[in-house]
Amino acid sequence: MTDTQARSRYTSPSGIDRDALPWRLWEKAKKLFWDPSDLDFSKDKADWDAMSEETRAMMILGARGFMVGEEAVTLDILPLVRAISDEGRLEETVFLTSFVLEEAKHVDFFRTWFDAVGADPSSLPGLGGYGDGNGGGGAADIFAGELERVMRRLDNDRSPEAFLDAGITYNQFIEGVAAIAGYKGWAKFLEANGNPFPAFQEGLALVQRDERRHIAYGTYLCRRVLAAHPELWSFVEQRWAYLTKPYLENRVAGRGRYVQALIDRRLEVLRGALDLSVQEVEDTTLEDLEATNELVAS
Ligand SMILES: [Fe+2]
Ligand SMILES: [Fe+2]
């Protein structure tokens, strides 16, 4: 590599684009930093000790499902970071460093909670697949092979389809549908049990705030690729059906409509990019994109 090549590789000639959506997400990530170690779990421990065995078992299954999901996305995110950095996308790579740290932090948070209350996540058989405590559903092997396959595809395949596959599976489906449906179920469960575990609830709210940025980034990524390659829309529809149909069929009664709304919303937001140029996608404001996450908070 010559000196000139080295300079162009490592020094962005235009500096940092501070208005770029990934950079704005990075700024938010810095401002909204939190540490699971700062949470006070003493009331959670007292709540746990006062809880029936049956409720404890449900709590273990639910929290373990979330933890399994966070461990999986932490272990499988790195190929995306490498693929984006290889394209020289500085602002995106900088944001992704916060993304990786936050997924690791989420693992830390759930494991810290188990340790603080003295619960053993391996004390019950089976593994909750989607992180919502319902033991998975169709495409139930998402954390046992499918996510890893899709993310590792980027190690050898930098095609637009490979980036889309990663964004659809990781950000749109796991973060944008399965995790959010899980939070909703979780809120109902806690409410039905007298709203215990204040530190757990506080941490879960902070996790959701982080996830909004992750989903916003993944949506930006998919829309950027789709604006440049609208011919890949049939691939998107096919992958979306593969991931969501069996999942929806396994939803517990009463949450099907909410999950369907999440599923429809994510696809609609991606479809919107088909009418846009790449520049128009780049110019989409963070506020516009975060508004597409309105169901996250509801
Ligand atoms: Fe996470
Ligand atoms: Fe995430």
Question: Could you tell me if 182 and 250 are in contact, meaning their C-beta atoms sit under 8 angstroms apart?
Answer: no
* Count of residues in the chain: 298
- Rounded to the nearest angstrom, the distance between the alpha carbon of 209 and the centre of ligand 2 is 10
- Rounded to the nearest angstrom, the distance between the alpha carbon of 277 and the centre of ligand 1 is 31
- The answer to whether residue 256 sits within a structural domain is yes
Token pair listed for 116: 């603080």
| H or E element at residue 221 | helix 198-228
Read off the pLDDT of residues 68-83 as tens digits, 9 standing for 90 and up.
999 999 999 999 999 9
- The answer to whether residue 32 sits within a structural domain is no
C-alpha closest to that of 47 among 190, 203, 208, 187: 190
DSSP labels, 148-169:
HHHHHHHHH--SHHHHHHHIII
Read off the pLDDT of residues 138-149 as tens digits, 9 standing for 90 and up.
345 677 788 999
pLDDT at position 291 is 77
Read off the pLDDT of residues 230-258 as tens digits, 9 standing for 90 and up.
999 999 999 999 999 888 887 655 678 88
- Local structure of 186: helix, strand or coil: helix
- Rounded to the nearest angstrom, the distance between the alpha carbon of 173 and the centre of ligand 2 is 11
- The answer to whether residue 9 sits within a structural domain is no
pTM of the model: 0.90
- The answer to whether residue 81 sits within a structural domain is yes
Token pair listed for 60: 């273990």
Identify the nearest ligand to the CA of 215 by its number.
Answer: 2
Say yes or no to pLDDT of 136 above 60. Answer: no
pLDDT at position 123 is 84
Among 56-60, 163-167, 220-224, 290-294, the minimum mean pLDDT is found in 290-294
Domain containing 260 equals 51-297
| H or E element at residue 190 | helix 180-192
- Rounded to the nearest angstrom, the distance between the alpha carbon of 118 and the centre of ligand 1 is 23
Identify the nearest ligand to the CA of 77 by its number.
Answer: 2
Give the CATH number of the domain where residue 119 resides: 1.10.620.20
- Rounded to the nearest angstrom, the distance between the alpha carbon of 92 and the centre of ligand 2 is 15
At residue 14 the predicted structure's pLDDT band, cuts being 50, 70 and 90, is confident
- The answer to whether residue 104 sits within a structural domain is yes
- The answer to whether residue 97 sits within a structural domain is yes
DSSP conformational letter for 120: -
